[in-house]
């Protein structure tokens, strides 16, 4: 199954190109001695400010934090909860752009449906998608302060 569309880098808005470049810069700070797989991310908040993140691994593998969650936690902990888009840069795996893990999809979707731009370090193309496209039927909080498994009746 394919999600989103592949767009040439020079066809993207300036704002999006900048976000992808910021993601690539953040990737250089990746602490990934175990996987050697560097990931960078940049989250554009509704107020125009950006929070960047990289993956931070640990000898206790399961406590590793992905780049996307790193950026998200920085933003939320600094009072930002509304987002325009997120950029993610990582190497391709088997020729395919690297899409966020399930945990990151869940964390990002908590804050609504916003644009996701995924590129590899060569920045030739970006996969353009959204948080909800990446995680259909997401588990999320209901609108009346209760919890509903999905907004969509099944």
In the bound state with ligand THU, the residue whose beta carbon lies nearer, of 36 and 146, is 36
Nearest alpha-carbon partner for 65 in 31, 21, 109, 25: 31
Q: What is the distance between the alpha carbons of residues 31 and 141, in angstroms, rounded to a whole number?
A: 33
DSSP 30-79: -B-TTT---EEEEEEETTS-EEEEE-B--SSGGG-B-HHHHHHHHHHHTT
3-state secondary structure of 130: strand
- Does residue 70 have a known ligand-binding role? no
Query: What residues from 80 to 139 belong to the interface with ligand THU (CB under 6 A)?
Result: 98, 100-101, 104
Residue placing its CB nearer to ligand THU in the complex, 44 or 87: 87
Which of 52, 55, 85, 120 touches ligand THU by CB under 6 A? 55
Which pair of tokens denotes residue 49? 């400010």
Contact 116, 105 (CB under 8 A): no
CA-CA distance, 26 to 48, in Å (whole number)?
A: 18
Under the criterion CB under 6 A, does residue 72 sit at the interface with ligand THU? no
Which residue's CB is nearer to ligand THU, number 63 or number 152? 63
User: Which entry of 68, 78, 110, 133 is annotated as an active-site residue?
Assistant: 68
Question: Would residue 148 show up in a list of annotated catalytic residues for this protein?
Answer: no
Contact call for residue 64 and ligand THU (CB under 6 A): yes
Asked if residue 22 binds ligand THU (CB under 6 A), the reply is no
Binding-site residue set: 66, 101, 104
Residues of this chain that bind ligand THU (CB under 6 A): 32, 35, 37, 39, 55, 57, 64, 66-68, 98, 100-101, 104
Residue list, annotated binding site for Zn(2+): 66, 101, 104
């Amino acid at each position: 199954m394919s999600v989103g569309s592949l767009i040439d880098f020079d066809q993207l808005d300036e704002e999006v190109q900048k976000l992808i470049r910021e993601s690539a810069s953040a990737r250089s700070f990746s602490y990934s001695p175990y996987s050697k797989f560097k990931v960078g991310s940049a989250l554009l908040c509704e107020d125009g400010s950006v929070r960047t993140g990289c993956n931070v691994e640990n000898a206790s593998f399961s406590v590793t934090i992905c780049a996307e969650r790193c950026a998200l936690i920085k933003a939320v902990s600094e009072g930002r909860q509304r987002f325009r888009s997120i950029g993610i840069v990582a190497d391709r795996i088997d020729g395919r752009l690297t899409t966020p893990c399930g945990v990151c999809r869940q964390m990002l979707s908590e804050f609504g449906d916003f644009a996701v731009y995924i590129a590899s370090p060569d920045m030739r193309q970006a996969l353009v998608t959204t948080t909800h496209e990446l995680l259909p039927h997401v588990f999320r909080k209901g609108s009346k302060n209760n919890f509903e498994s999905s907004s969509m009746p099944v």
